[in-house]
Structure 1
């Protein structure tokens, strides 16, 4: 029970931080999404190196690197994971700072359903009839909203797809989460450093440009990236998957509320209908998943 309580608190804290993260990116509105992304990569890498050193995980890191180098498929999956999470971060930061928080929250609502669909395609997982119904309802909701709005919800679907594919790559790799995020940021670090240095030399960068607050907020991107990942790892190790899956809806719910009530983004009747359909599909999905997990426990 103590481990379960610890896991639940960690999971709730993780999803709460992810849910209010738009508040942090809004502090950096003066910088472009690409500059923020580059700093997020750099400072996340440095923070994770310090963390691995304090946890004395250097041996695990080195053995993981050797394993990835000796297995081409694993190496390719790690590179794919690095670029997928980089793309996901970039899309999310751009969406927040261009007043599309509502769209981003929609993306993370449909993410669990995309995960399940990829599980069928890539891992040959079997779904219950109720889960197939929930996916069908979600698809109808996305198509209906696209038709009514006259545009495809590109931001939402891109966020859901990149994060789902990232999760699929991580599932294949089975790597320690701390080591994984360190390697992912390391792989794209040269591009991030090149971009930040280019901005500095051209005089268009915001780091070391005289604004100390901006400097500290940019450096803090590493902390706000790493801490939720640590909390998520703790939650995942101490909670059943159905409880962890239910907690994840906290994050897009908080983002949705921020988008509507704090930043006054439009939330039309069409969007409300689309969200309602997705929420219905998630309720059915959660019920089905809960039944499956309970059945496994009883066996």
Structure 2
């Protein structure tokens, strides 16, 4: 029981951290999104490798890379996952700094529903009646938003799809969260360094050319990337998966609040209707998952008596 409480605290902490991240990125809105992304990749790689070495896991990291290379399917699957999470990071940073925080929150609300769709199509999983209704509600919410905007909510869908597919691929690759992040950023760091060299050669780099505050914020994008991931990985091992799934709605809820209240983004009656349908879908979906999980545990317990 004590370990489960600790797990909940770690996971809640991770999602609170992710929830306030729009404020962090807003302090870097004077920097190109491409440069922020390149800096985030490089400094995430540096910070994770430093931590790996500090906790004396360097040999395990090298062994992980060797094992991945032996299994080419897993190696390239992780590479594809890295490309997807890079696209997710870029879309998120760009959206926040172009005043689309509300759409980013929509994307992360939709993420668990997209994950379930992947399970249906690729793992042949079945949906209960309540889960089917949840999908219809969510689809209606997205459709209303699309019609009211007059354009496709591509930011929300891009965030939801890239993160869901990333999670789907990572689910089948057994790697420590911290060392896994080090390997993922290792894949893409050469491209980030190349881009920074290009920026410096063109005289377009903000890093080391503006002020100390900006330099520090860019450097700490690595910590901001690694810390909540490690917190989540530590906590999720101690709690049931359905609890972690319910807690994850903290982050998009905070993003929505920050977008509307702090940065005064538009949120009228149409948006409220659409989000209400999606919230109802998520509530129905989550309750059905909890009920299924509890029922399964009860049956297993009764059988074992």
Q: Give the C-alpha shift of residue 210 in structure 1.
A: 4.3
1:37 aligns with 2:37: yes
Tell me how far 1:57 sits from its aligned partner: 1.7
State the partner residue of 2:303: none
Query: Structure 1 pair 64/157, CA: closer, same or farther in 2 (3 Å)?
Result: same
- Give me the whole-angstrom Cα distance separating, in 2, the residues matched to 1:208 and 1:91: 25
What residue is the counterpart of 2:166 in the other structure? Answer: 166
Looking at structure 1, the residues matched to 181 and 41 of structure 2 have their Cα atoms a distance apart, in angstroms, of 10
Aligned to 1:113: 113
Q: Report what 1:205 is aligned to.
A: 205
Q: 1:143 to 1:66 in 2, by over 3 A?
A: same
Q: CA deviation at 1:20?
A: 0.4
Q: How many residues align?
A: 299
1-side partners of 2:62 and 2:122: how far apart? 29
The Cα of 1:206 is off from its aligned counterpart by 0.8
**Is 1:269 matched up with 2:266?**
no
Instruction: Kindly report structure 1 stretches of 4+ aligned residues shifted beyond 3 Å.
Output: none
1:225 is aligned to 2:221? no
How many Å apart are 1:279 and its aligned residue? Answer: 0.4
**What is the TM-score when the length of structure 2 is the normalising length?**
0.96
Q: Deviations over 1:25-72 (max 9, x none)?
A: 011111011100000000000000011112222232222212221222
How much has 1:142 moved relative to structure 2? Answer: 1.0
- Cα distance in 2 between the residues matched to 1:110 and 1:60: 36
Unaligned runs of 5+ in 1: none
TM-score (norm. length: structure 1): 0.98
Q: Deviations over 1:197-216 (max 9, x none)?
A: 21122221111114111110
> In structure 2, how many angstroms separate the alpha carbons of the residues matched to 1:8 and 1:45?
27
State yes or no: 1:52 paired with 2:52.
yes
Contact preservation (8 Å) 1:200, 1:207: no
Matches for 1:241-256 after TM superposition, within 5 Å: 241-256=241-256
- Select between 199-208 and 58-67 the one with higher mean Cα deviation: 58-67
Cα RMSD after superposing both structures: 1.0
